[in-house]
Amino acid sequence: MRQTIFKRLFFTYGITLILGFGILAILLLQLFNQYFIETKKELLMEQGKKIGEELVLGLYTGRINQSRLYDDLQVLDTFLDARIWLVDNQGIIFGVSASGDEKHLRERISDKNLLTLYQGKMIDEKGTLGGKLEEQSLTVGYPYYFNNVFRGGILIHASLPEVQRTFADIYKITIWAMLFSGLIAYGILYFQVKKISRPLKEISAAAKVIAGGELHKRLEINTHDEIEDLANSFNDMAESLEKIEENRRNLVADISHDLRSPMTLIQGFIQGILDGTIPRDQHEHYLHIVLAESKRLIKMTNNLLELNQMQQGKVELKNQVFELNEAIRRNLISFETPIREKNLEVGLSFYQEPVKVFTDPSFLDRILTNLLDNAVKFTSPGNKISIKTSEHKQQVWVEIMNTGVTMNQQELRKIWDRFHKGDASRGEFKSGFGLGLTIVKEMIGHMGEKIWAESDDNQVKITFTLTKV
């Protein structure tokens, strides 16, 4: 049978409470019992000393007679709730306080007890005094002397059951207090365990809902403890899963959309060549187009694989110190042809020469290549591209700006999305699948740096940071 966490916690802690209170009750009762017996013993010893000093010695000095002694013993018997025996120096019982003990007169106590009294020591024992007493008793013996000569002793017997009955009310109060405290503790335990198990049950149910594909499920748990942190983490996970699922759907839709056009194009051209629709003298032209589209598809696949590896943290950085300005110039030269074709003006502004940075050179080359390609591609003929570096404490900011276009904030936020193409007017033969800036952002994040975009006054500026040496 499957046990819930509520049952397991409730019964486990419940048994612990019962055992704890039970052991505590037993210990308290034992301590009380010991305390009451010790208190009774001290009282008997004190009275035994007084009897020896005042009554028995009074008998030997003639201050009181034997009849008076027995009367006083009976009074003390009632006061102490204990029986008193008088023994002589031979250990013979010659006086008792209770009429029921007269049968023990002229009996002799044990040699062990007599020797204890003879040595001037007190008797302190529990039992029946060798069978002379009908029930378990606490016996206290006190020797008495006259003219420095041992004359005998006083034995006082207090019934142990009577002692315990005397304090029965205290025992009952203790037991009831322990039971009442246990019930309160059990009630508190019930609500506390319920408080713990209920949100866990909600989290379990929500996990099953999400496992079933309903990623919109969220938890509202306000326990102000680790369980609330767990619920918040669960909500974050669910939100991440929902975002991943949304990205997956968008990815599939975008890939399907972007693959359909080139694949349809390739299929149409090949079909036209095979069925003779395209004249033989134009075969080479259209085969070049097919080859270019095939290369674009391969490039998109490679970019997607690279992006996936970076997102999974499988790409290792090989940081080193190198010169930034030289890297910018080298990458800019590779765009000389399209810059000349569009008659673009290029401006460079470096805050100093040289500028040493610490990062992965291959990553930086890819970032610069993608950003420059993006700037050249979307800058209208006759406009300007500028590259600027500036110092900010331990960082270098690299700004790449192109003129001739303005983007609103909504469009700026979308430029980092995969398969997003800022220029909807691009023809279907133009290269690119909208992955360049997505890869750039992933690379920047992988390097532990930052990148952002701004647009105003007919210009777009992208800035990223690098660690200065």
With beta carbons less than 8 A apart as the criterion, state whether 73 and 94 touch: no
Q: Tell me whether residue 192 is in a domain.
A: no
For residues 440 and 341, state if they share a domain. Answer: yes
Residues 307 and 342 placed together within one structural domain of the fold: no
Dist CA 84 CA 101 (whole Å): 9
Q: Determine the number of helices (DSSP H) and then strands (DSSP E) in the chain.
A: 13, 12
Q: Are 190 and 116 in contact (CB under 8 A)?
A: no
Distance, CA of 49 to CA of 56 (rounded, Å): 10
Has residue 283 been placed in a domain? yes
Whether residue 302 sits in one domain with residue 438 = no
Query: For residue range 221-251, what is the model confidence (pLDDT) as tens digits?
Result: 777 777 788 888 888 888 888 877 776 776 6
Residues 448 and 345 in one domain: yes
The pLDDT of residue 255 is: 65
Q: Report d(CA 64, CA 57) in Å as an integer.
A: 9
Q: 220 with 243, same domain?
A: yes
Number of domains comprising the chain: 3
Provide the pairing of β-strand 395-403 with 459-467: antiparallel
pLDDT given for residue 465 in this prediction = 94
Do residues 29 and 162 share a domain?
Answer: yes
CA distance 272 to 283: 9
Instruction: Write the DSSP string, 148-189.
Output: TEEEEEEEEEEEHHHHHHHTHHHHHHHHHHHHHHHHHHHHHH
Across all residues in the chain, what is the average pLDDT?
81
* 153 and 27 fall within a common domain: yes
The band of 452, judged by pLDDT with boundaries at 50, 70 and 90, is: very high
**What is d(CA 352, CA 361) in angstroms, rounded to the nearest whole number?**
20
Q: E strands along 23-148, which residues?
A: 83-88, 93-96, 123-127, 137-146
Q: How confident is the model at residue 347 (pLDDT cuts 50, 70, 90)?
A: very high
Q: Is 11 inside any structural domain?
A: yes
42 domain residue, yes or no: yes
Is 50 inside any structural domain? yes
State the CATH number of the domain containing residue 63: 3.30.450.20
The sign of the CA dihedral 128, 134, 140, 142 is: negative
Phi and psi at 430, nearest 5°, equal -75, 140
Where is pLDDT greater, at 255 or 162?
162
101 DSSP assignment: G
Banded pLDDT at 122 (limits 50, 70, 90)? confident
Q: Are residues 261 and 338 in the same domain?
A: no
Q: How many CB atoms lie within 10 A of CB 24?
A: 14
Q: Count CB atoms within 10 A of the CB of residue 439.
A: 18
In the block, tokens 């025992």 appear at 171
Which tokens belong to 146?
């006259």
Q: Which of 169, 187, 204 is the last residue of a domain?
A: 169
Which residue type sits at 105? L
Q: Is 203 exposed, middle or buried (0-12, 13-18, 19+ CB in 10 A)?
A: middle
Does any domain span residue 25?
yes
Query: Residue 396: what pLDDT?
Result: 94
Same domain, 156 and 234: no
pLDDT tens-digit series, residues 66-101? 777 777 778 878 887 788 888 888 989 888 888 888
361 with 377, same domain?
Answer: yes
Q: In angstroms, rounded to a whole number, what is the distance separating the alpha carbons of residues 325 and 350?
A: 7
Q: How far apart are CA 447 and CA 319, in angstroms?
A: 9
The CATH number linked to 395 is: 3.30.565.10
pTM (2 d.p.): 0.47
Range with the lowest mean pLDDT among 154-158, 405-409, 416-420?
416-420
Asked whether residue 135 falls in the same domain as residue 28, the answer is: yes
Residue 166 in this model has a pLDDT that exceeds 70? no
Q: Give pLDDT tens digits for 176-223.
A: 887 888 788 878 877 777 777 777 778 778 888 887 877 777 878 777
Tell me the pairing of strands 93-96 and 345-349. unpaired
Type of residue found at 72: D
Q: Domain check: are 39 and 141 in the same one? A: yes
Is the bond preceding residue 354 a cis peptide, omega within 30 degrees?
yes
Q: Which of 313, 328, 357 is the last residue of a domain?
A: 313
What residues are paired with 276 via a beta bridge? none
Q: Which of 228, 229, 203 is nearest to 218 (CA)?
A: 203
Write down which residue in 134, 151, 169 finishes a domain. 169
> What CATH number should be reported for the domain holding residue 236?
1.10.287.130
Residue with tokens 């509520």, as numbered in its chain: 6
Strands 384-392 and 345-349: parallel
CA distance 215 to 200: 18
Domain contains 324: yes
Domain that holds residue 291: 215-313
What's the rounded Cα separation, in Å, for the pair 293 and 447?
A: 32
- pLDDT of residue 348 exceeding 90, the answer is yes
Residue 329 inside a domain? The answer is yes
